[in-house]
Each structure stands twice: as C-alpha cells, then as structure tokens.
Structure 1
Amino acid sequence: MSGNEEERPERPSEVDGTAHLFRALGKIIKVLRKNAGLSQAELADATHCSEDLVSSVERGVRTPQPDFLIRADPVLGAGGVLTASVDDVREALARARVRHPDWFRSFAKEEAEAVALHYYAVQAVPGILQTRTYAEAVFRHRRPLYDEETLEKRISDRISRQVILDKWPAPTLSFVIEEAVLRRPLCGVEAFREQMRRLIEVAQRRTVHLQVLPFDCTEHPGLEGAFTLLTPKGRREVAYIESYSHARLITDPEEVRTYTERYGIIRAQALTSHESLDLIEKMLGEL
C-alpha cells in the first residue's frame, strides 16, 4: 500500500485541468515575487504562512489556497490577478474531490471532509505527505506499468489531496510511519532528501502529530498492514484498508473499534513526536 489510490484502472472522471491550473498559478506567483524583490521567506512572513509552503506552491507541488491568494495579491502588487483566480481555484478544489477513480471516490470524499485523520504507514510515506518526485517513483514502478498520461494523472490526484494539510480549521491529523519506510530512498538519494525535509516541515506543524515506529519495536498489533482511520463530521469514525487491487471502507462499529484499538497501541509503542522529529533529522543528515 503506497498512499491509497494507485491500484485500479483509469476512469474518465479523473481527467481535468486542475493540476495545470495550480502549476500555472505557482509560476505566476514566482514571477510576481521576484518582480516585487521579495524572497520566499519574506513572502511567507507577509502572508502568515511557512517558507516551505511558498516554495511548494511555486513549484506546483502544493495547492495555492484561496486565503493565501487573497493575502498575497496586494503584497506582490498583483493588481487583482491572484484574487481573480480565487473562484477558479475553489471550483478546481471541488472537482479534485470527485475526480478520483470510482472505487476510490468514497474514501477521497470522506478524507477531504473529515474532522480527524490517522494514518499508519508500513510500505511508503503516506500519500498526503509525499513530494511530487516521491509520488512519481511510487507510481512509475508499479506493475502493470502506467502509460505517461495516466501516470501524470495519478501523481496530480495524489498531490491534490494534500490540501487537507492547509485547511483551517484544521482536522486532527496524526501519522505513524514504520522506520523501514524512512530507510528506503524510493526516489533516489537526492529526491529522498527533499521528501525527508518535507516530513520535517510537516512534523513541526502544531496541527500535525507525526511519529516513527522504530525497528526495535519487535511486537505490535499492526502486522496485518497499513490502514487509515477517519472521522467524518457529525458521524462515527470509519476505517480504510487497501491491499493491491482491493480497497475497503469499513463502517461496522465493532470492526472499526479493532482498528482504533490497534492504532492506539501502535502510537503508544512509537517514538514521541519530538523523538521522531529528532530521528528524521538525524537520518536526513546521514543521507
């Protein structure tokens, strides 16, 4: 399992220009910033966001949220160019929630609207934390192979889900990642450094709890594989599991309870958030 949505055939509903819009906006923002004589850090300060967010938006790997565009427009002297795109961005974000394959759509909808999300990852970095390069490595090496057009759509769909990280009010977000995942540079060493820096940036957010389950944890209840727990607004928690071409959204309360229990034990056995951040920084230094 490598982030939830790569194992089923292409469907026409996945085709739209959302990723192209976000990449184009990123390039426009970069040009405006340079023309304004601002660094990424200065733009981040002026718009009350992180420098990493500005960098990711400019590179087209993060979605420029409407609030960011509204704040950035006067700072960059855009004269309304960015605010004029807000309605299109909101429409594109709405489309992004429904453009996934039919089999994945129920999970994607629940994920986008959830008030709490908990991910346990055993084979790869969770999809909503992946850099574009890492996501490409995951999809490019699957079997049977994707053609280039489908490959690009899969990557864009995965990146589009990452708007969850920038929502406000933020959902409760936690991740437990097996140490083995962080010891396998799927996309090559240089690109994996970028992925590790991305994990560090996310782990430092006060809206996110990220933990590593170390190698020396020899017994734990998650040996059956990765899973996700999510709580829809006003409804009971559900669980999602995926293995090769089989995906399942679990709603039975008793079955969900077993996954909740497993996750609680796994979190207790994992390193603390601070210990996990220290380990990831140490591993990055060793790459």
Structure 2
Amino acid sequence: MAKEVDSSSSMAELYGKRLKLLRTARGLTQRQLGALVAVEHSRIAQLERATGARPTLELSRALDMALGTDGLLADLQPHVYRETFLRPHIYWKTFPDWSRAWLEKQAQAIEIRTYAGHTAPGLLQTPEYARATLRVGRTWKTTAQLEERIEARLARQERLSAPNPPALWVVLDEAVLRRPVGGPEVMRGQLAHLLSICARPNITVQVLPFSHGEHSAMGGSLSFCTLPDGTELAYTEGADTGQLVEDLTDVKSYGISYDHLRAEALPSSMSLELIRSCMEGDSARVPAPPQHRRMAQVQLKQPGGWGLRGSRRRLGRGARP
C-alpha cells in the first residue's frame, strides 16, 4: 500500500481512505469501480468521503472481489457499523435535534422503559420493518439520509446483546401487532422477531389490549431511561416531533402514567401468546380485563423483577414473569 492510513480517524473514514487507496492502486475511477459492483459512482464517492449510508457487508464483499483485497473491507465493515452506535455524534447529524438528544441519552442508559402506540420500538425492529416505518417519515430529505437512519437504528440494537446490556421493558399497544407495516411478510417477520428477542433475560414485552380503552399516552409513544448515575429522563414522540423531558416533576408524572399502562397490560406470557396468534393469523382471544389486570399486578411486584417505579434491580433470567 502506498501509505499508512491514520488510525485516529473514525472507522468510516478509515474504511473510506482504504477504499480510495485500493481503488487508485488498481487504476480505477469511481465510476469504473461502481460499475464492477453494480452501484452508482456517487455511492463509491460517499464511501470514500465517509458520508451518507454506511457500507453494507454485501457491498464490502463485492468491493473486495473487484479489488482483489482478500476480505480486507469485509473485515472492516462490522467495525464501521459498531461505531455507528459507539460514536453516535458522528452519524446522527441528519437526525432532528429533538430525536438526536434522546438517542444520545438512551445510548447511555442502564434501564429503558417504553410504551409504543403505533409501531414496534426502534430497538426491536427488523431491518425490513425499520425500512418500512422510516421511509414514510417526513424528516429525511435524501435517500442517503434514509439509509443512514436505517443503519443507525439497527446499530443501536447491538447494545441489547452486548455485555452488560440495559434492561428493556416494552409495552406495546395491540394496534402494533395488528397493523401490517410493510405488508404481511414483513409483519410476520417482525412478530417472529419479537417472540425470539423476548427470550433474552434483559428484555420484557407486554401488550396493552384494545379492551383497556382510553389512556393518557394515546397518540404517540412514551419512553424513559435511567442513566448510570440514577438520573431518570422521559421522552414523548409523535409522528414528526418529540420532546426530551428532564424536569423531575414532569418525569414523575409521565412515570405514573407508564406504570398504569404496565399494570393494565397483559402479563408477558399472555402477551407472547397474543403475538404468536397474530403472527399465525389466528383470531386471538384476549383475557378479560379483571383477570389480566390481577395477573399483571402480581407480575410487576414479584421479588425478582423490576417491581414498580423506584426499583433499581436489573432483570435477571430467574426473575422473568
């Protein structure tokens, strides 16, 4: 190689610099290399400048084959994705300020609690479902921004399976299960993913059935995170706007609303059965409100679980409801 690449660069910049050195060493223009791997030359330019969407593993393998580099770029690609999560300030520049502020806080959290009224939370989305939800948004302006947001969303999920992951408690409105986002196949894959991910000891999912009726969080999503120093923050979000809530009184008020939703939701075992029924296209029976309410309240107060607000214990495998 003609010269050494500065290792202090971000991984995306390192990837781009290596790609440019390899391309020029082979005497190829960006347009010629793009033709060899079936992408526009502007995509090659974006990769070399570390702008736009991050490189995919499939594209990295194609570039390695075209350049004869024996897997160099494919080996580097996972680190670029991982850095999207570890160094979010580099890649979240295209996100709205209100969204970016929450993502930065959530990335530090040791506990995350979420109520989702319309779509599955980003932390639990499949790639296909994420694309279907993000492409209908109105806060991105270019295809590159859309791809970057999809990849950043998927990269954020890595922390859920990393060492010492945050505890995640999610309450899904039944509407999330019933609306076929992306079409039947995408939705079936999303529901299957929910069933699979709930096997992790740090993740709990409940479903709030239609029978519960009106509640104070209708119309959007409501989330909380607990930072390592014990600070609690809330976040409310609608279709095109969101708000990070830091005032202690407001956070407590939203927290009470969330606890009511969690207590009224189906226990996790019944929630998983409802998810499975929706995935299989069955007409799911939802337990009568008094029955599931009593079971949910018992579940939340179990000694090994999170309990109601104020508990700081992590959710362990032996404590799953």
- Fold match (TM-score > 0.5): yes
Residue 206 of structure 2, aligned match among 211, 223, 234: 211
User: Are 1:20 and 2:12 counterparts?
Assistant: no
Aligned mates of 1:87, 1:282 — CA distance in 2: 38
User: Are 1:200 and 2:195 counterparts?
Assistant: yes
How far apart are 1:134 and its partner, in Å?
1.1
Contact 1:98 1:109 (C-alpha < 8 Å) held by counterparts: no
Secondary structure at 1:113 match in 2: coil
- Structure 1's 23 and 157: CA in aligned 2 closer, same or farther, altered over 3 A? farther
Aligned mates of 1:246, 1:80 — CA distance in 2: 41
Contact 1:210 1:273 (C-alpha < 8 Å) held by counterparts: yes
Partner of 2:161 in structure 1? 166
* Deviation larger for 213-222 or 256-265: 213-222
How far apart are 1:277 and its partner, in Å?
0.6
Aligned amino acid, residue 178 of structure 1 = D
Partner of 1:266 in structure 2? 261
Partner of 1:188 in structure 2? 183
Aligned mates of 1:255, 1:154 — CA distance in 2: 29
How far apart are 1:19 and its partner, in Å?
3.6
Residue 115 of structure 1, aligned match among 83, 99, 110: 110
Aligned mates of 1:87, 1:151 — CA distance in 2: 21
Q: Where does 1:206-245 land on structure 2 (aligned, <5 Å)?
A: 206-223=201-218, 225-245=220-240
How far apart are 1:218 and its partner, in Å?
1.9
Contact 1:96 1:160 (C-alpha < 8 Å) held by counterparts: no
Partner of 1:95 in structure 2? 87
- Structure 1's 217 and 17: CA in aligned 2 closer, same or farther, altered over 3 A? same
* Deviation larger for 224-233 or 241-250: 241-250
User: Are 1:139 and 2:134 counterparts?
Assistant: yes
**CA deviation string 1:66-103 (max 9, x = no partner):** xxxxxxxxxxxx99999887866654542345421261
**CA deviation string 1:104-137 (max 9, x = no partner):** 3221111111010011000111111111111111
**CA deviation string 1:169-219 (max 9, x = no partner):** 121110000001110111000111111111111122211010000111124
Partner of 1:73 in structure 2? none
Residue 281 of structure 1, aligned match among 263, 276, 289: 276
- Structure 1's 237 and 279: CA in aligned 2 closer, same or farther, altered over 3 A? same
How far apart are 1:168 and its partner, in Å?
1.9
Secondary structure at 1:216 match in 2: helix
Contact 1:18 1:96 (C-alpha < 8 Å) held by counterparts: no
- Structure 1's 140 and 88: CA in aligned 2 closer, same or farther, altered over 3 A? closer
- Structure 1's 234 and 127: CA in aligned 2 closer, same or farther, altered over 3 A? same
Partner of 1:127 in structure 2? 122
RMSD: 3.1
Partner of 1:255 in structure 2? 250
Contact 2:173 2:207 (C-alpha < 8 Å) held by counterparts: yes
Aligned mates of 2:152, 2:112 — CA distance in 1: 19
Higher Cα radius of gyration:
2
Aligned amino acid, residue 197 of structure 1 = A
Contact 2:198 2:204 (C-alpha < 8 Å) held by counterparts: yes
Secondary structure at 1:170 match in 2: coil
- Structure 1's 88 and 194: CA in aligned 2 closer, same or farther, altered over 3 A? closer
* Deviation larger for 226-235 or 89-98: 89-98
Contact 1:18 1:92 (C-alpha < 8 Å) held by counterparts: no
Contact 1:174 1:209 (C-alpha < 8 Å) held by counterparts: yes
- Structure 1's 175 and 183: CA in aligned 2 closer, same or farther, altered over 3 A? same
Secondary structure at 1:118 match in 2: strand
Contact 1:97 1:108 (C-alpha < 8 Å) held by counterparts: no
Structure 1 residue runs of 5 or longer lacking an equivalent are 1-11, 29-77
Secondary structure at 2:210 match in 1: coil
Aligned amino acid, residue 246 of structure 1 = T
Kindly, what percent of the aligned residue pairs are identical? 32
Secondary structure at 2:224 match in 1: strand
- Structure 1's 121 and 92: CA in aligned 2 closer, same or farther, altered over 3 A? closer
Q: Say how many residue pairs are matched.
A: 224
Partner of 1:179 in structure 2? 174
Scaled by the length of structure 2, the TM-score of the pair is: 0.62
